[in-house]
Amino acid sequence: MKNQKIAFAILFSGILSFGCSDNDSNTEPTETTTTLPTSIVFKDISGGTFTMGGTTMSNDAPEVSVTVSSFKISEKEITNAEYVEFLNSANDKGWIKIEAQQTADPCGVYTENMVIGNGDAPNSGQIFLQLGETGGCTSGGEEEHIDNKSWISYNSSTNKFELLDSGKSDFPVNWVKWYGAFAFTEFYEISLPTEAQWEFAAKGGQQLEYPTDDGTLNSGKANYNGDTPGVYNPNGHSIAVGSYSPNPFGLYDLGGNVWEWCLDYYDASFYTEGVTDPINSSSGTESKRVRRGGSWNYHSSTLLTYARASDFENRGNNHFGFRVVKN
């Protein structure tokens, strides 16, 4: 499928580093705050028992009864502005460094700045975020809309992260790897949603088919790419979070805009009948993490509340983002 990428800006193992900024491992960390950005609003979700799963093309979502405890979940996907705030605080703490590295997709080979875990950061040495200067590329070699670039930039003269365009401050952060989403939650002592929490929230207490205001889907309810897989849309891109009506729990964009990383490892047969607060912490043979909700360039069936997808922890391009939970 053209738009179901192999262009995830996949970083080659042993990729060439072109040098570091003055933000290196020898820089003394300064006193910083780990207070969660005040713009992040949480919704209280009362726990309960629900039917998790449904019929999908991949047949990996068996219907089982699952119970989740009460939790709080961010009403919107984490934005560029919120991630910039995290990066600057993490930078002050010595958690990250910047390196220019070579990456490739079907459109060519590029050198991009990478935000890499450093020091005491979780998964130190792994890439958290790619500061992509292009909008990305499909598996067929088509260049995607420039609005899919990363709007976060690093200013080496001030040693600060900045937004390239203030008008994109409330767009969901993209080009973020699972490692980068997880680091955000560890820094603020919160969490990524488990897959069960995510689906419980998406179904809105009503077993919704789609995570919209009423469980139905059309172009006025979510940012996605129609009903047919593999259709290239040169005008597709993410948009400001909260642009559509929320689901019954008051949650926005659980379907479409950007894929949302979950805490669980992926396993097609993990879920069983009658479990409480399940989380798959076993990496298995593939070590892939769950992502949910579809995105601006994926078709409607991927937006189903029970549709499942997964990817490697070091993947993450112009349609990968996340939201967060408190337990």
Strand partners, 120: none
Res 13 pLDDT > 50: no
- What was the pLDDT predicted at 32? 62
- Tokens in use for 159? 């040693």
pLDDT tens, position by position, 129-139 = 999 899 999 98
Q: What DSSP string runs through 170-195?
A: TSBP-SB-HHHHHHHHHHHT-BPPPH
| Alpha carbon distance 192, 252 (integer Å) | 16
Q: Evaluate if residue 23 carries a pLDDT over 50.
A: no
Average pLDDT over residues 61-87: 98
Q: What is the Cα–Cα distance from 194 to 202, expressed in whole angstroms?
A: 12
Percentage of the chain beyond pLDDT 70 is 90
Residues 6 or more apart whose Cβ sits within 8 Å of residue 26 = none
CA gap 308, 293 in Å, rounded: 8
User: Global pTM?
Assistant: 0.90
| Mean pLDDT, range 74-85, rounded to an integer | 98
Q: For residue 156, how many other CB atoms are within 10 A of its CB?
A: 12
Q: Indicate the pLDDT class of residue 11, thresholds 50, 70 and 90.
A: very low
pLDDT at 34: 86
What pLDDT is recorded for position 327? Answer: 86
The pLDDT tens digits of the residues spanning 252-303 come to 999 999 999 999 999 999 999 999 999 999 999 999 999 999 999 999 999 9
Q: What is the pLDDT of residue 31?
A: 55
The pLDDT score that the predictor gives to residue 284 is 93
pLDDT at position 57: 82
pLDDT in tens, 216-252: 999 999 999 999 999 999 999 999 999 999 999 999 9
Average pLDDT estimate for 35-48? 97
What 3-state class would DSSP assign to 145? Answer: coil
Domains of the chain: 17-22+39-326 (3.90.1580.10)
**Gap between the Cα atoms of 321 and 152, Å rounded:** 14
Q: Which amino acid is it at 90?
A: A
